[in-house]
């Protein structure tokens, strides 16, 4: 089990996990025989907790047995064999200046497609909906577990994203405390709401809906490049109406979100070839907490390297304005959306 350590002074957190692997191999692995997430290789992972199988026009939720691994799945969920956090309690606590606590939590992998070459930018809209339904299901379950204060949901796509498995998948990692970034966002949102009586993200949506940074809109969601992005071509996807709980959105909303996710990620990867990116769900803590945030998704394209300015001081230098980025992405995403709607 890893240690959750804090900086000497700041609330910056680091998980020290000597056995965990990060991707340092730039050579693309296309050998499906060695991919643990490909069909036929189910024994290379932990047993599935959910295996979504399409049968007779219906989706069945099955799970692996000791000697009976589910075949023919379209989405598969299992505990990571190299978890970032663990529910074991072997480690001890220590106080500052050498603060440490056990990195307690659950780490699940959601395989987004049985096809090795599929990515989150190429799977079809229906498959995205299947994936989101499973993620929502696991999210609800995790929040019933003791010691779960927050569940992070993120995607690492491409060789520079930090993933050590090429096959398209989603990580779900729970924490016993709010991650610093979410804690800061929740605190700032709560402060603005108390001062102005309005949700700051609702203000942002109203501002960006008809502005130069808008990329794409669906019935219930808007995609836009933020006013002060940390990354070139960074964009966010946000519910148009005030909503603090992803776990409670309806099937119709999931289908709508799937469409805009597929169109924007497809447009992004068509606009910038061989791109690596990270995607993170910014969600409210589901357990009772007055500091709720208007949930949304943030996408961070990795188009270059950080300099000392970013790493040393947290001041980000962006080489393209969000207005110009939105113009380029908007055209690519609208084209992708037209193709998707035409196919369907």
List strand residue ranges (DSSP E) for the chain, in order: 3-6, 13-16, 48-55, 58-62, 73-79, 100-102, 107-111, 150-157, 169-175, 214-217, 221-224, 235-239, 276-282, 296-302
Q: Pick the catalytic residue from 107, 157, 167, 169.
A: 169
Rounded alpha-carbon distances, angstroms, from residue 221 to 185, 209, 239, 344: 20, 10, 4, 20
CB-side exposure of 284: number of CA atoms within 13 Å? 21
Is 107 annotated as catalytic? no
Instruction: For helices 200-208 and 180-196, give the axis angle rounded to 10 degrees.
Output: 80
Do 104 and 150 form a contact (C-beta atoms < 8 A)?
no
Do 194 and 292 form a contact (C-beta atoms < 8 A)?
no
- Give Rg (Cα) of the chain: 20
DSSP bridge partners of 65 = 68
Q: Which residues are catalytic?
A: 169
């Amino acid at each position: 089990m890893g240690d959750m350590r804090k900086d000497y002074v700041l609330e910056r957190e680091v998980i020290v996990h000597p056995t965990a692997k990060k991707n340092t191999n730039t050579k693309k692995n296309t050998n499906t025989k060695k991919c643990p997430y490909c069909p036929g290789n189910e024994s290379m992972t932990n047993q599935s907790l959910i295996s979504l199988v399409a049968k007779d026009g219906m989706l069945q939720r099955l799970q692996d047995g000791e000697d009976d691994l589910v075949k023919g799945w379209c989405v598969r969920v299992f505990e990571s064999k190299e978890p970032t956090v663990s529910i074991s309690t072997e480690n001890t606590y220590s106080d500052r200046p050498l603060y440490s606590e056990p990195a307690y939590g659950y780490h699940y992998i959601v395989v987004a497609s049985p096809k090795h070459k599929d990515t989150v930018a190429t799977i079809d809209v229906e498959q995205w909906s299947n994936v989101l339904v499973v993620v929502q299901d696991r999210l609800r379950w995790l929040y019933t577990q003791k010691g779960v204060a927050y569940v992070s949901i993120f995607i690492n796509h491409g060789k520079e994203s930090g993933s050590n498995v090429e096959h398209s998948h989603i990580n779900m990692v729970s924490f016993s405390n709010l991650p610093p970034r979410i804690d800061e966002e929740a605190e700032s949102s709560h402060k603005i709401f108390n001062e102005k009586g309005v949700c700051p993200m609702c203000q942002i949506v109203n501002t960006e809906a008809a502005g130069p940074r808008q990329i794409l809109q669906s019935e219930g969601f808007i995609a836009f490049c933020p006013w002060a992005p940390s990354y070139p071509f960074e964009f966010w996807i946000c519910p148009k109406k005030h909503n603090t709980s992803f776990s409670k959105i309806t099937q119709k909303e999931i289908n709508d979100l799937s469409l805009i996710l597929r169109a924007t990620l497809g447009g992004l990867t068509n606009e910038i070839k061989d791109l690596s990116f990270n995607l993170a769900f910014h969600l409210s803590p589901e357990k009772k907490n007055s500091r709720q945030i208007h949930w949304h998704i943030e996408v961070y394209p990795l188009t270059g390297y950080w300099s000392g300015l970013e790493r040393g001081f947290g001041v980000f230098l962006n080489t393209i304005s969000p207005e110009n980025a939105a113009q380029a992405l908007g055209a690519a995403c609208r084209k992708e959306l037209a193709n998707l709607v035409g196919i369907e």
